[in-house]
Chain A
Amino acid sequence: MNMDTNYLQISNALKQDREKLIASFDDFPVIEFMRRHSRILDTYFQQSFEESLVGPRLGLNKNPYAIIALGGYGRGEQCVHSDVDILFLFKKRIPKEAVSLIQEIIYPLWDIGLEVGYATRTLNECIDLARQDYEILTPILDARFICGMSILFSELMSATRDKILNRRSKKIVAWLVKSNTERHLHFGDSTYLLEPNLKEGQGGLRDYHTMLWIGRIMLNIRQARDLEYFGYLSHDEYLAVTEALSFIWGVRNKLHLATGRKVDQLYFENQIKLAKSMNFSTANGLQPVEKFLGTLHSKMDYMKQRHLVFLNEHGFVYKPRARRKRKIASAYDNIVIANDMLEFSSSEDILKSPEQLIHIFEESARLKLPLTTQAKRMVAEFSYLVDERFRTSNSVVNSFEFILREPAPAFNVLREMLNTGFLVRMIPELKGIVNRIQYDQYHLYPVDKHLLRTVQTIKNFGSDRDDSGCILCANIWKGLKNRKLLLWAALLHDIGKGVPEKGHSRRGADIGRGILARFGYNTADIDTIAFLIQEHLLLVKIATRRDIHDEETAIHCARIIKKISRLQMLYLLTVADSTSTGPNAWNDWTATLLRDLFLKISNILQKGELATQQAVKTSAHKKEVVLASASSKSEATELEKLFQYMSPRYLLYMPDHEILNDIKLFRRLDDRAFVWDVNGGKAANSRTVRICAQDQPGLFSKIAGTFTLNGIDILNGQIFTWRNNLALDIFHVKPPPDRLFEKDRWQRAEKDLHKALAGDLDLAKALADKVKGYGSIRPKASKLPHNIVVDNHSSSFFTIIEVFTYDFPGLLFTVTDALFKSGLDIWVAKISTNVDQVVDVFYVRDFDGQKVDSEDQAAAIKTAIEERLPEIV
């Protein structure tokens, strides 16, 4: 048998042993599996070393060498597809035959698909490199002798200790803590991410490695258990750490098995499978995968907390810059400051005055200091003291409100309250959402963490930690009066998700009402908060599913929201909710839509008229009256359809009997260009003309021109537009001068208008002679100049043009014709004459339906009207 076949046998044996072990993965605790896995590898190295052809030629006694396991393999924690880290260590120099040795030992491993990382170094090289680069040092901290000259391994260990660890322990620990912190920033906090990194994320295996390495450096410990013996962990904590680690290791190995490769990020695609293979089942409305992630998060959260406490308690915290010494004191006698941390002065005291439990968090928020581990333990243990009387006590409510409102840039006090279980005691309704995962690509955080993030995001608006990118939000937040209402809504907005049924917003509002009543809020405040909870999805839904460039959309929202202050809060809540949900729920595109909608609703609410309760009532009442007039069911259906066409403005301003008149006119219209109805009788000195016409650009000026041409003076008028492209105009006019032939005059006017609309009559030309006579006008009272205002601010949907001038024959034609020739369509108009003073208001858009909001355009419109107005003498 030649040597090659020997090697083949050894590596085949390894392959088979691994396959057998992996097949029986579920038969052992995961720690035992990893140990066995390491042992199988050890056997391979020992046997191939024995069988080596090159080995004997290297002269073990002249230039001793050893094969050493590093990193996870060194610790005996070899996961299914983790790298196998190996060091070939030589005493004095690396012989050229070393290449062949590596070929003999390493290549077969690659051939059977193992990932092997190896290094070939002399003792001195090894120490030099580890001294310069701590990334090389840390795997050596976990080194374990496999075969070869064992004394060499001992030399490596003592040289590492003497030449590196003993000389610069503090520096190395500081580096470890710092690089771990940076790693967390890069990989994120695994305790709530939905695709957590099992190794590198916060709460991941690296946190455990860091604790172990610090123990090795500072105390020269060999095993993790020593951390307990040295008092770094209590016995219970050691057991809990082991349990948490086992779970994370279990997930990691299962993940390797599921993907067939080394992977530490728990991607979505693997989660359902893993949850199943880890025997999670459906319960309490939670899917197995939701329970699985919830458990994983809580285990990783435990690792994270242990790691932070470990660093904190033993003074290993990495401080980027020296903290300035402040003179600070707690406002409460029974809460003291020790080493920049808060703790209770005595535990028996808590029994006597349980309010300390919230006071310590209040002080934490006020002084920006964390609680000691001991203090947190005590809060957790004494939380049972939080009962109904505690919750409703005035001073407790005040403390809670203070914590809720106080900015907490560096660390989140509410988060600590949640972690210690205190928050859930304080608001028991939160219980159903703690660690509740929503399994989709959209929600990145469990509900409870999401709620706290939303609160935090709002408090950060406008600060240097604001990552919403919303300048408008910062401005609104700065000027917001009753901030606590918004923060309450943020804290509770998803509380309805405790039950896995639809309608969490409405349910949440009800639950919220109960909580807030217990906290002693007045009805008005409760209404506002409940409103915000119930409608927290309104703006997003409308912005993405309705036409926000339609005024009615904004009016619809304005009528639901009712008050500008509510709109402001709702907008901030919407932005904070979306940004705290995850990157898929928020981007620049959605932000633009949402902001645009906010500004449009805000405009409607600021002007008021269309969105008041009164407006809603009036419009509804008119609808009822009009519907009551229906003589049959089919007529009622037709009326309902017509309501769809009527704009909110029309319904608000038009009296109900006139709406009925318009409906009659509309029925007469059919396919005619227009129909009208002249009212007033012979005696009165004014007539009302109602016109119903197919809308077309310039319609208004043609009507006005026709009147002037026939000597009919316009006193005032209003025009509205229905959504089915129908114009409804009402004019009050002076009857024609010659009363005897009034009927003929109206008929002639009607003919003229038909011609004008058909394009067969050039009104401007026909009127030219008539208007020429009035070269200038002489106001009766004061001589104010003409004033034309182009307003683009008051409405998001129309440019509003106001013309202040003096009456003269043909005025309305002149102005509206100027508007038509400037390319503008009149949607709403109000014409009023007071003695000889005229105020005309036009809501216009260009023929494409857009506002004319560039300054050039506004100036051009002003000039176009001014040029046509006569001189004032």
Chain B
Amino acid sequence: MSAPALAHDVVEGTVMFTDIVGFTEFTALRGDVEALSLLALQERIVSDELTDDARIVKQLGDGLMLWFGDPCEAIRTGLRLQERFEEESMNIDAPLWVRIGVHAGRQTRRGSDLLGHDVNVASRIMSLANSGEVLASEATVERANGGLEDVEFEQLGPVVMKGIPTPINLYRAERREA
């Protein structure tokens, strides 16, 4: 299912940014070949976990920008990705330590790329996440509208972000323990 187009070039959806923590240092220590392998592993895992509704918008150095039509699916995928990254980390001698930020809103298309305020917010949210974490904005949690019974959201409070005029209420998403 694709999101309805609001205008010629505006879509409504959820943007996710991922970022490998320590990638620059790892590259300096282990060289480009191992670094590229790590990137390829991240991309393979992400591609495995993406549903038909989602896509990789672009690569950003050691990170990825993803888009989801459904905010619930974005959160679920974020948590699944962290679990997969953790599993893979047990088997490799490389830091597949990824932080993830998620924000639902409107994005403007520019070719295959997406840009706009809500994209910037998602990027800022990612910068506040620790490796292994999925942070989401209140807008994402509200749009998920209770559709995530297996997920707990811990409120981190209002965050004032550089270049973003309104404070963003942040939540930390975690798999609910059975």
A and B interact: no
Residue ranges of A at the interface with B (Cβ–Cβ < 8 Å) = none
